[in-house]
Structure 1
Amino acid sequence: MPFRYDPPMSALNPSGAKTIDSIRPWRTIARRPSRKIKVGSVYVGGDAPIAVQSMTNTLTHDVEATVGQITRLEEVGADIVRVSVPDPESSAALRSIVDQVNVPLVADIHFHYKRGIEAADNGAACLRINPGNIGGQARVKEVVAAARANGCSIRIGVNGGSLERDLLEKYGEPCPDAMVESALMHARMLDDEGFHDYKISVKASDIFLTVAAYHQLADATDAPLHLGITEAGGQRIGTVKSSIGMGSLLWAGIGDTIRVSLSDEPEEEIRVGFDMLKSLGLRTRGVNIISCPSCARQGFDVIKTVRILEVRLSHVREPISLSIIGCVVNGPGEAMFTDIGFTGGSAGYGMMYHAGKKTGKTDNIDMIDEIVAGVEAKAEEVRAAREETVAA
């Protein structure tokens, strides 16, 4: 039987006819419907872009160090940044930090409800709490009142390593049922106060547990979901685990904001997060480099070239596609579908492409400068077109 594809409703116009979005139906990701909330100036859920966030590892009461790290996270594109607020000194410092940065801040609150109230009063855009851990419904009511008064949302953060004792006794071990039951119990505490501006996470270090819990939670609530594989490890293995776990969820349409948890610099979490979303076509920020692994046919050093270009083009924010292919076997074909392309040839020269069309040979010595110039020119063209559209 021939393959039959039924496009999701998002790929159809009101009359039922296919739209431009369904030209390549195998690339379609139908996102799970969720309600939309605000984290400061950033929308999360609904039709909002999937937000990428990280967390500082400085002492929050060291304002200079914390602002410096947040600024570096802003520079690599962070939409939201979380900071720990474990003590009164940290919640007091939050006001000064908020005044010096541009991204919305999430205050990480674990046990003391007063830190949540202080953080909301001092400018936090969101509080990360587990309502059941802060002393009962009366204290939840106080935190919710502070959040509501300051336009502050809440993230319910369930972690497989810190589930409630009664749930562990009931289920015997951390499992999807236990994690989802914990999340929904916390959510009810907020719902009982008439507060619905919350998102939920159910993270674990085990990929299978995390993915199963999120699938179950996605069916049980319309709250926006914050994705993550917690304690995923160092840069390499953490990226692999996060890509498998979060990638499968995102591909299934689940997830409204993500944090890649790495034992590495926070900026690396943002880079990996955006690369993950770009690979799935869910965000298009920055240059998407398509490059070959190199072989004996290469007409230039592909690996070295790509490493240099990743650094030289890291400042570009516009969605530009770039193909860097070592030889003419696949190079021209890849260049047909990218904004800028370079294909290795022979005798120290390669072929440049713009919008799939040959623009002439380029000496290997000069190719990096020419590629960078071509990408920057295309980025300026995209930026100008966007500004013109906005102005109209």
Structure 2
Amino acid sequence: MVGNVPVGGDAPITVQTMTNTLTHDVAATVAQIKACEAAGVDIVRVSCPDAESSAALKDIVKQVNVPIVADIHFHYKRGVEAAQNGAACLRINPGNIGSEERVKEVIKAARDYNCSIRIGVNAGSLERDLLEKYGEPCPDAMVESGLRHIKILQDLDFHNFKISCKASDVFMAVAAYQMLAEQTDCPIHLGITEAGGLRTGTVKSSIGIGSLLWAGIGDTIRVSLSADPVEEVKVGFEMLKALGLRHRGVNVIACPSCARQQFDVIKTVSTLEDRLAHITTPMTISVIGCVVNGPGEALMTDIGLTGGGKGTHQIYIGGQTAHRLREGDESIVDHLVKMVEEKAAEIDAKSKDKAA
């Protein structure tokens, strides 16, 4: 449990991100967390490099709705302070947290304040003895580091923990996670660390995290991007949607467009995605520029649009032809947004009736 959010077992795969504000700037950090909440984030991590940052947690956790993970490196006392100040989870790096005695102090604080722990192994900061043993960072060294610290926690009768084995090299990370999954059944946090900017990091993370999720490995994910944390959340959910593992918001199926298109598909889709960002109800819409694939795609979506000649396009609902939209009567985007909002309200109402 990370606060009130379950991780592992039959729980939904959760999406995490990490703030990049100065943690002691409470207003800026809270604003960033709230923006991520609006995007659907389940868990947010903040770095606690100094006593001022760990003290700020007391104010931060009161103002947000998601559990906060305190990221701890080097100074084990920051972990103790973070637990005392309301962190729901402590992320500790075995390679730089210090001696086993210091780890024990952090574990005691976690137990005393009902705080979970993430063992965060990273290829870039492995213990010196493991680097000497293996010669360089490698999956075997990463997994040995992780299992070593799992044993420490279990020997101290502490079991509310998860583990990650991150590397910036996709192959190394995937191999480490595969080995780890074979040797432990504790919840696994997936990530490709330091993946890069928005485009590069999305591709690398999708290959690495996506292949592991496809293989049934992983309980919570964080897409590491040199970008706005909100983008990490969006990419995380898109990844889960693409794999059919979790559904949130509108999945837009759209053609790349070509000379056959009967309207500007790319501009329409870009605007539409922005206008539909507030919809959290799971549904699928298709936006196809011509009749080659449009009708077929519409059969499999809640709402479909197929471009037609002479500025007249076909609208589908539930795979059935519904009505035509003539350009000039109403913009394509406005029309589709209205339809999606109405459909979302209908789906939500049915869900409430079933729950009642």
Bin of the TM-score, shorter chain as denominator length: over 0.9
- Over the matched positions of the two proteins, sequence identity in percent amounts to 68
Q: Which residue of 321, 344, 352 maps to 1:379?
A: 344
Are residues 1:71 and 2:26 paired? no
- Partner of 2:309, secondary structure, is coil
Mapping 1:1-392, distance limit 5 Å = 38-131=1-94, 133-365=96-328, 366=330, 367-391=332-356
Instruction: Give distance in 2, aligned partners of 1:388 and 1:257.
Output: 31
Residue in structure 2 matched with residue 26 of structure 1 by the alignment = none
- Displacement of 1:135 in angstroms is 3.5
- Partner of 1:43, secondary structure, is coil
Question: Is residue 95–residue 126 contact of structure 2 (8 Å, CA) maintained in 1?
Answer: no
Q: Deviations over 1:107-162 (max 9, x none)?
A: 00012121111111111010000356433333322222221122211000011111
Q: Deviations over 1:195-231 (max 9, x none)?
A: 0111101010101001000000000001111101111
Greater shift in the superposed pair: 166-175 or 359-368? 359-368
Instruction: Give distance in 2, aligned partners of 1:244 and 1:319.
Output: 24
- Partner of 2:346, secondary structure, is helix
Question: Is residue 238–residue 262 contact of structure 1 (8 Å, CA) maintained in 2?
Answer: yes
Instruction: Give distance in 1, aligned partners of 2:126 and 2:66.
Output: 31
Q: Deviations over 1:342-385 (max 9, x none)?
A: 00010011000110011111023422111111111111112112
State the Cα RMSD in Å: 1.0
Question: Is residue 58–residue 66 contact of structure 1 (8 Å, CA) maintained in 2?
Answer: yes
Instruction: Give distance in 1, aligned partners of 2:264 and 2:178.
Output: 44
Q: Which runs of 5+ in 1 are unaligned?
A: 1-37
Question: Is residue 55–residue 81 contact of structure 2 (8 Å, CA) maintained in 1?
Answer: yes
Question: Is residue 132–residue 186 contact of structure 1 (8 Å, CA) maintained in 2?
Answer: no
- Partner of 2:82, secondary structure, is helix
- Partner of 1:347, secondary structure, is helix
Instruction: Give distance in 2, aligned partners of 1:179 and 1:68.
Output: 35
Question: Is residue 107–residue 126 contact of structure 1 (8 Å, CA) maintained in 2?
Answer: yes
Question: Is residue 127–residue 155 contact of structure 1 (8 Å, CA) maintained in 2?
Answer: yes
- Partner of 1:190, secondary structure, is helix
Instruction: Give distance in 2, aligned partners of 1:138 and 1:387.
Output: 51
TM-score scaled to structure 2, two decimals?
Answer: 0.97
Matched residue pairs, number?
354
Q: Deviations over 1:245-295 (max 9, x none)?
A: 111001001110001011111100000110000000011001000000001
Instruction: Give distance in 1, aligned partners of 2:125 and 2:101.
Output: 23
Instruction: Give distance in 1, aligned partners of 2:350 and 2:87.
Output: 35
TM-score scaled to structure 1, two decimals?
Answer: 0.89
Instruction: Give distance in 2, aligned partners of 1:344 and 1:137.
Output: 65
Question: Is residue 30–residue 64 contact of structure 2 (8 Å, CA) maintained in 1?
Answer: yes
One-letter amino acid of the counterpart of residue 162, structure 1: S
Instruction: Give distance in 2, aligned partners of 1:142 and 1:203.
Output: 25
Q: Deviations over 1:291-325 (max 9, x none)?
A: 00001111111000000001000000010100000
One-letter amino acid of the counterpart of residue 337, structure 2: V
- Partner of 2:225, secondary structure, is coil
